[in-house]
Amino acid sequence: MAQLKRLKYILEALDRQEFLRVSDLVERLAVSHMTVRRDLAQLEDKGYLIRTHGGAMKGEAIQSLFSFARRLERAGGEKEAICRAAARFVEDGDILFVDCGTTPFGLCRHLQRRKGLRVITTSLPVVAELLHQPPIRVSLIGGEVVGERQAVYGAAAERAIGEYHADKAFIGADGLSLKNGLSSYDEKEAGVTRRMAENADRVFLLCDSSKIEHDSYVRFAPLSLFHVLVTDERLPRTVRERYRSRGIEIIMR
């Protein structure tokens, strides 16, 4: 089994139970003890688990990976401030890609005063939020529906996105670092995010400070994918200056 599939299996197993034994993972994944320990060490570095004698326990960061509702509860104040700042860049008549993460979802409530908007998304919560706002026209991209993430993914979704063009894309990521660029928990989600960014004139990355200089396990795009980073005021000044020295525009509110 490839490493990315092993890591995803371990994370999903830890979401269902508090503790995993190395011996059980060796049997289920059909790999060596050394391979399992390397995988656990990599996930521990990202805060997803805590290694113990003979196994691993779930870490705090794993709580943000799976359920849309669970992720929506985290960093609520920061996300609200980020979305309020990002909404200032939306103009009447814009065509927008809105990504499926919880932070881009928060942008919806700030779009009501704009006229003639078209929103293209793979997010079911975004559709539900905008459905009863007649001035906004909404297009839902087709593809494979993933219930836990409440979004549409897959090759069909990525092909469909390629048929659209947007003035602006508002995207999210599970991790962002100067070394590794943008990263995600899920490769299918990453593919959708990348395609939206590639088909928009201007790309805004909405990312709370807890994800900055932290990597998730699928690296999917360089820093050049986006034009503006919108984050919260908890981002340390030293980190802020390092990003700006790389030519990255940062908006903080």
Which pLDDT score, from 0 to 100, does residue 85 have?
A: 96
Share of the chain above pLDDT 90, in %: 62
Q: What is the predicted pLDDT for the residue at 70? A: 57
Alpha-carbon distances, residue 224 vs 96, 194, 228, 246 (angstroms): 19, 11, 10, 10
Distant-in-sequence, close-in-space partners of 252: CB < 8 Å, separation ≥ 6: 85, 230, 231, 232, 233, 235, 240
Task: Enter the tokens of residue 54.
Answer: 């003979």
Count of H-run helices and E-run strands, the chain: 10, 15
Q: What is the pTM of this model?
A: 0.77
Q: What is the pLDDT of residues 141-176, one digit of tens each?
A: 999 888 767 899 999 999 999 999 999 999 999 999
The whole-number pLDDT of residue 3 equals: 85
Question: Domain 3-63 carries which CATH code?
Answer: 1.10.10.10
Indicate if the pLDDT at residue 218 is higher than 70: yes
Classify residue 64 by its DSSP letter.
G
**pLDDT of 71 above 60:** no
Q: What mean pLDDT do residues 75-79 have?
A: 72
Tell me the fold of 68-252: Rossmann fold (3.40.50)
CA separation for the pair 108, 128 (Å, rounded): 10
- Of 44 and 209, the structure prediction assigns the larger pLDDT to 209
Note the pLDDT of residue 63. 58
Domain boundaries in the chain? 3-63, 68-252
Average model confidence (pLDDT) across the chain: 89
CA angle 52, 57, 60 (to 5 degrees): 125
Confidence of residue 53 (pLDDT cuts 50, 70, 90): confident
Q: What is the pLDDT of residue 177?
A: 96
Q: Which pLDDT score is estimated for 35?
A: 94
Q: pLDDT for 96-146, tens place per residue?
A: 999 998 899 999 989 988 899 999 999 999 999 998 877 899 999 999 888
Render 166-224 in DSSP notation, one character per residue: EEEEEE--SEEETTTEEEES-HHHHHHHHHHHHTEEEEEEE--GGGBTB--SEEEE-GG
Q: Identify the pLDDT of residue 2.
A: 83
Mean pLDDT of 203-228: 93
